[in-house]
Structure 1
Amino acid sequence: MAQAAEEVGIDGAFVRVHHFERQLASPFPLLSAIAARTSRIEMGTGVIDMRYENPLYMAEEAAATDLISGGRLQLGVSRGSPETVLRGAEAFGYVPPDGEDAADMARRKTEVFLAAIDGTAVARTDPARTGISGGLAIQPQAPGLRQRIWWGAGTRATAQWAAGLGVNLQSSTLLTEDTGVPFDRLQAEQIELFRQAWKEHGHEHEPLVSVSRSVLPITEDIDRIYFGDQAQEDQVGLLEGVRSRFGRTYAGEPDKIAAELAADEAVRAADTVLFTVPNQLGVEYNARILATIAEHIAPAFGWARA
């Protein structure tokens, strides 16, 4: 899929990460394979669930993958999404200590991970073996990777927290809050609060923001069979007991979708738009969808093929 996406001019290939499901659970082998088989396209995640991760081992894997790719890794991390498994991270040996919940643990691990890829000493030398005492950073180090880490934020408050860490913002097709305004407007508010918080923290570089959209262009009869009735408006419901708002699905003629996305407040505010694709339909089918998006839809909101 990543090779096909690169051939039609798409800028990045991002993969979802889920445990205990028939989906990808260990992204770094695949990301390294993408790096080895492509030359231009970025590769990333949306998102790695930090509840399941050893942050220092993950920092080693991320740095190695980024070096293999020549600095093309865009790594999305987060607290993770709701799961069918009960306390799945605990099965991996990660139990929140007293006073923490799973979300707190994920954020703490993220801070350790960021320090590790930033070159901070995370261990000490053994004077009995080396004759010296000093700090050791994880190896390898990947210059520039720290500025290519993204936090998948589901609320306005977590977006502001991410700004404090100095990481980019990934906002998906779900927000675990609802104020009654349309999804794109609520997401645009989240982006604005993130950028305001970024300025207040005085970071030296400019942040990046991505949003995700479910887009199903219909150009052939087979598309109409698959997706002719898939167009939806925003959905509001309870997720883990929290009132949440789900973004709409864009299905229809490419020109119609292009106009709708061009009017989307969050799409206009973002630097990157991630398009979800029905990957179970295979590479050839999805390559055609991506080509349609690249030619007829993405240019409507300012994207240009590399």
Structure 2
Amino acid sequence: MPSTPRPLRKLGFLTIGLFDAADPARGHESTLKIIELGERLGFDSAWLRHRHLQYGISSPVAVLAAASQRTRRIELGTAVTPLGWENPLRLAEDLATVDLLSGGRLNPGVSVGPPTHFDQVKDALYPDTADAEDFGYERVRRLLDLVRGKPASDFSGVEGFEVFSDVVQPHSPGLGRRLWYGGGSLNSARWAGEHGMNLLTSSVVKVEQDAEGSDGPPDFARIQLSHIREFRARHPDGEAARVSQGLVVIPTDSASPEQRARYAEYAARRLPRTTTPQGPARLLFAPDLVGTSEEIAERLHAHAAFREVDEVAFALPFTFGPEDYAQILTDMATRLGPALGRRPAAAAG
């Protein structure tokens, strides 16, 4: 472990983009305004979660296309797009299009696995091919190949008045180096490194069977650190390979007493899931970090995994309102970032 943590180089935030079913346009507009605020505050990146058949953004790529036209500097990412819901070729076209519209600011994060509640949704999603679909790493490899310009067809040339390409169009140079894998297991970290992706870590890790020993309960930071080190050991860029951490962080410096009490209650309700692995997948959650920027910085500097990253995409709590997000983002940008050694990006006017 380094004797001192790496200075924070990139400060980002992540939001789910909830909306009211009776007025979804308002919720989407609120998310766009949060991204605009992030740029004004000098954040380096804004990330959207992906939710299907829920009251959260189901098409973050479309929302980020809109955001690309309302911002000029901030990087725009998905954390993450579950590829089980996607056709890699069509997604590659959409990603390249938005990347070009944004001027090369798109950072797509993806993951694998069958869609949530697959048995209930498979007839609508894959009515003829559900039993044949591959929801493993091969789906990511297909996307990588297509984004990076490998042929998608054995035909190209002129046919009548139309011109055909054998690779995905448009092609956006550089996008292939900005693809991220959202991984919470050792296998995922290893695969992402071997395939030259960037690694998105979050507030969830998978507890492998050998992670629980006689020395006490599993330690989230130690498990996540093992993923980061395995990823970099397998990546062509080694120690320079990009890793971003996405813990839930809630600074309270400028919060009202009512906000502080509500934030503390939110974190307390979620604390039990941080003590033991949850469910058949044995998922372990990190505690939410609530407190002043000085207190949070102290806890992060003691976090074994945080000490080896220089990029973050701090997750905003799902259920808070726009005024809460404005307060949290402002404190992150003006107080927490500097406390973590970050030099602010140029804020937009």
Change (3 A) 1:73 1:101: closer
**C-alpha distance in structure 1 between counterparts of 2:120 and 2:70, whole Å:** 36
Q: Specify the alignment match of 2:337 in structure 1.
A: 298
Contact 2:81/2:110 (<8 A) preserved: yes
Change (3 A) 1:109 1:35: same
Q: Any idea what the Cα deviations from partners look like across 1:236-261, whole Å, max 9, x if unmatched?
A: 2333x122211111112332112111
Q: Give runs of aligned pairs for residues 1-306 of structure 1, distance below 5 A.
A: 1-79=34-112, 83-84=116-117, 86=119, 88=121, 91-93=124-126, 95=129, 102=135, 104=136, 107-125=137-155, 129=159, 136-178=166-208, 179-180=211-212, 181-198=218-235, 202=236, 206-218=240-252, 219-229=255-265, 230-231=267-268, 232=271, 234-239=274-279, 241-278=280-317, 280-306=319-345
Q: Any idea what the Cα deviations from partners look like across 1:186-231, whole Å, max 9, x if unmatched?
A: 1011100100011xxx459942101111112223212123112325
TM superposition shift of 1:274: 1.1
Of 242-251 and 67-76, the range deviating more from structure 2: 242-251
Matched residue type, 1:152: G
Secondary structure of 1:213's aligned partner: coil
Change (3 A) 1:248 1:140: same
Return 5+ residue gaps in structure 1 as ranges.
none
Change (3 A) 1:81 1:39: farther
Contact 1:174/1:245 (<8 A) preserved: yes
TM superposition shift of 1:276: 1.1
Number of residue equivalences: 297
Matched residue type, 1:216: I
Change (3 A) 1:207 1:96: farther
Matched residue type, 1:237: P
Q: Normalising by the residue count of structure 1, what TM-score does the alignment of the two structures yield?
A: 0.88
**C-alpha distance in structure 2 between counterparts of 1:249 and 1:295, whole Å:** 20
Matched residue type, 1:29: A
RMSD: 2.7
Contact 2:61/2:78 (<8 A) preserved: no
Q: Normalising by the residue count of structure 2, what TM-score does the alignment of the two structures yield?
A: 0.78
Contact 1:17/1:27 (<8 A) preserved: yes
Return 5+ residue gaps in structure 2 as ranges.
1-33, 213-217
**C-alpha distance in structure 1 between counterparts of 2:257 and 2:119, whole Å:** 42
Q: Following TM superposition, where does structure 1 have runs of at least 4 consecutive aligned residues deviating by more than 4 angstroms?
A: 94-98, 203-206
Secondary structure of 1:45's aligned partner: strand
Secondary structure of 2:305's aligned partner: helix
Change (3 A) 1:204 1:256: closer
Of 244-253 and 221-230, the range deviating more from structure 2: 221-230
Secondary structure of 1:281's aligned partner: coil
Higher relative contact order (CA 8 A, sep 6+): 2
* Percent of residue pairs identical: 32
